[in-house]
A and B are shown apart, each in its own frame.
Chain A
């Protein structure tokens, strides 16, 4: 057919650069630029301490993305389990050498950089599951026993993350895995059954939750319960959003944000600040931008000719979606306060690197979209 088929996805480096989806690169740069602008505003009109570093991190992130994209998708598939095992080890290491940051054990200090293994796990788990389901045929997937290994793969990091304790990330891992299971073709009744079981176990889960987690859930249900304590964030965030109105108060004019009524405006609550200063129009525009990025992710996934690529792309895209949805829903008081940043905009190094790494993988899937891979990773099967 085309030249692509003839090459079976094997390109030279130059060809790969040619095949990078430059439009997606542009799409990613837009929210990053918005992030720089918002962080500039959060510092009351100063590139320090956040905006400049955010821009630099995005530049580094782009570099990471390109490098990841250049690596052959088959190579990613081959090392998926290794990658996953490494992430799992780091996660376990957090229990031992991790230090407490932001009230929870989430960081591991490698001397030159603080790593958040749970972030890395979000990608590693998707890759591992994608590799597993790649080798499972449509017929086999109906067998319950087939589901045991991937369930263990999900359970191990989820439990470790929950121990830290980081309920938000644990739920994100489970949700992303759910998406991969679903897209891999796991039967619908499995999901229905799991959902029923989950609902039934809610009372048990309540008992297991930490006090501050229960607090967040209760405050979410009734923010006026503690207007100066845990409910303060949500209430002030809603006030800021409402005060922004349709068109916003203007760049750097948000009183809620600039007078510090808004907590953590440079990280988790940056969307609130954007919506206060640019109003609903600004917020909807940003959601539109995210939707376009998601659409690209979906398109790349559907277009891929190998199951690993499809599942990896859809899994990572869904991770991205969860970031966006959880963060925005949280600041608008739709779900409890969980520490999830707004992708590409919130200030924070690990999340930025994780995301750009993820987009690098999506890009790799795009570049190697026509590679055909056998159940065990061979590329010769026809």
Chain B
């Protein structure tokens, strides 16, 4: 018994030790709790909240683009995407196999999907294919029980119902690039699109709207349990244009019709303006492209084809194509001379086919010459010798100043990206770029719109509009009512000012332009509009692309049609109509189109005629084009 007493005593002693040890360990637990739950509580409370609440952006629907009658030019379409959620399928490969029996899945796409699955957390949906048709979507939906992990998502994509007809005007949208990230969280949304070209780019902020937010409570796998708070965003605003959809489609189609022996759509541009407001009625560049292809992801092949095409489908030649204006520039030279009083309607010049300056000969397009010509005849028959003489006497400074007043040589700030300014050369410019002083011969060449001169089709149309509207400095614009409030240009459109041109001078020019088209000996008589009341006035322009050497000239100038396409002359035509009460101005430029009278003038005629037929002011009581202002955007 006493032996057991010894053991009991030792047991008690050691029990105290053991109990103390255990108490100490439990105290450690309490200390740890104090550290976690009191000292570090704030940090962990924040972490728990971050775990719990997830902020989700609600992308706003993009605004539409409308024509002047409210017809939709750019809209959003339902787009079905098929996604796969890895955690919901045992074997992603088998799921993809099943999916591949319904929709085509390339090896490349399969590799990408499997790669993304391995990189991302298993509950994150991975896009397999976008832009599915409703039929595909329905077939996948029906087979859903055999396709574990497959999810169908409904999104919106941009759609341009008229594709190539408005491609250069509307531009297109595409995924946000790194450089475009402004800190707006919307831009970081996967799949969010911004305007990359055209009106989509200029009015991107207006069309975009602002994103809403949804605070949702999520569980550990990111599944939404409930919405805690929702702030609705602002949907993008619609942008109404001055463009008439039907006219635009007509113009684009007419411009793109093949000419002569050339089977391809010609390379060129056309612009139709309301001469009183500067509103663009139609504006097209050829060849065009389908902007919808950019939304659906362009294949490499298609992209290479687009950028390697020598006729540059992606370039908007109406605003970014720069051409020597050729004879269409003669009105500017004439106005400058008239303003200085160098000539009057009676002054004549004798054209013998060429003129001399020192040792150099400057040729008229007509080998035999025009004989005695006054200003009216010189414009009507586009006599070069007359304008060599006029330019020499007026001087490059005055000609350049007049060109600038008429809208050439500077950007017109139309609401499109990528507009070019053309070029009106000055003495300073020549010295600065070439390092040599201005030569008088260069003034002569400028007199017939060649040499250094460059103008865009838009500038030519604006020049014509300013001649036709009595010298009012209208500016071209596409958005109805001028640049929109939230657009990049916050300035309201100012009332166009007068250029201070003498009405009598303008009348002379307009009469001469009327004769160009409507007089039997006018250069564009073949392209006249015969309908009474719809007659147009215009001016042809044919611009040499290559120098004609002396040897060639002596051997007899070769016909344009015999030259390779890229060596043929550019064909230009500017016009306004109707002649009695001008309302619309148009310009047509066809690269390497041959002659202005034969190629460009008929196109301009057809487009202007269509414009006049569609003129909402027509049919109103005769008195004039201003009687019915309902559809006019000048207000």
Residues of chain A at the chain B interface (Cβ within 8 Å):
137-138, 179, 182-183, 185, 228, 236, 238-246, 255-256, 259-262, 275, 279-280, 283-284, 287, 290-291, 294-295, 298, 301-302, 305-307, 310, 314, 318, 321, 324-325, 328-329, 332, 334, 372, 381-382
Contacts and interface: CB of A to CB of B under 8 A. Distances in A.
25 contacts: A138-B6, A138-B10, A183-B11, A240-B44, A241-B33, A241-B44, A243-B48, A244-B37, A246-B38, A280-B38, A284-B33, A290-B26, A291-B23, A294-B19, A302-B11, A302-B15, A307-B4, A310-B8, A314-B11, A318-B18, A329-B28, A329-B29, A332-B33, A372-B1, A372-B4
Contacts of B26: 287, 290-291, 324-325
B264 interface: no
A262 B36 CA distance: 16
Contacts of A321: 22
B11 A332 contact: no
Contacts of B36: 238, 241-242, 332
A332 B32 contact: yes
B25 A325 contact: yes
A141 to B, nearest CB: 9
Given A138-B10, A314-B15, A334-B29, 20 more contacts: A183-B18, A239-B47, A242-B37, A243-B48, A245-B38, A255-B48, A259-B217, A275-B33, A275-B37, A280-B37, A283-B33, A287-B26, A287-B30, A301-B11, A302-B12, A321-B22, A328-B29, A332-B29, A372-B1, A381-B1
A125 B221 CA distance: 43
B219 interface: yes
A25 B437 CA distance: 114
A269 B605 CA distance: 84
A301 B13 CA distance: 12
B45 A243 contact: yes
A173 B48 CA distance: 37
A250 to B, nearest CB: 14
A321 to B, nearest CB: 5
A137 B4 CA distance: 8
A55 B333 CA distance: 105
B14 A137 contact: no
Contact of B7 (A138, A240, A294, A324): A138
Contact of A243 (B18, B30, B47, B121): B47
B550 interface: no
A256 B7 contact: no
A174 B221 CA distance: 39
A195 to B, nearest CB: 14
Contacts of B10: 138, 185
A259 B121 contact: no
The A interface, classified by DSSP as helix, strand, loop or mixed, is: helix
Contacts of B19: 294-295, 298
Contact of B219 (A185, A261, A302, A382): A261
Contacts of B519: none
Contacts of B45: 242-243, 245
Contacts of B33: 241, 275, 280, 283-284, 332
B272 to A, nearest CB: 61
A242 B47 contact: yes
A244 B44 CA distance: 9
Contacts of B225: 259
Interface string B426-455: 000000000000000000000000000000
Contacts of A261: 48, 51-52, 219-220
Contacts of A307: 4, 7-8, 11
B52 A259 contact: yes
A256 B1 contact: no
Interface string B37-50: 11011011101110
Contacts of A328: 29
Contacts of B4: 305-307, 372
Nearest to A291: B26
Given A138-B6, A183-B11, A245-B45, A259 B37 contact: no
A179 B218 CA distance: 47
B34 interface: yes
Contacts of B8: 305, 307, 310
Contacts of A318: 18, 22
A273 to B, nearest CB: 13
B7 A246 contact: no
A294 B18 CA distance: 11
B7 A185 contact: yes
B37 A283 contact: yes
A137 B3 contact: yes
A328 B36 CA distance: 13
Given A280-B34, A287-B30, A228 B121 contact: yes
A187 to B, nearest CB: 11
Contacts of A306: 4
B15 A242 contact: no
B218 A259 contact: yes
Contacts of B38: 245-246, 280
A287 B29 contact: yes
B498 to A, nearest CB: 71
A242 B7 contact: no
Nearest to B17: A182
Given A239-B44, A259-B225, A332-B32, A179 B18 contact: yes
The 10 tightest CB contacts between A and B, nearest first, are: A242-B44, A243-B48, A280-B37, A259-B219, A261-B220, A260-B220, A245-B41, A241-B36, A239-B47, A243-B45
B32 A242 contact: no
Nearest to B23: A291
Contacts of B37: 241-242, 244-246, 275, 279-280, 283
B7 A182 contact: no
B47 A298 contact: no
* Most central of B12, B22, B34, B43 by chain A CB within 10 Å: B22
Contact of B48 (A183, A240, A246): A240
Contacts of B1: 372, 381-382
Given A259-B225, A284-B30, A284-B33, A238 B44 contact: yes
A382 B218 CA distance: 71
A307 B3 CA distance: 11
A223 to B, nearest CB: 13
A382 B4 CA distance: 10
A259 B52 CA distance: 7
Contact of A183 (B14, B22, B43, B219): B14
A138 B3 contact: yes
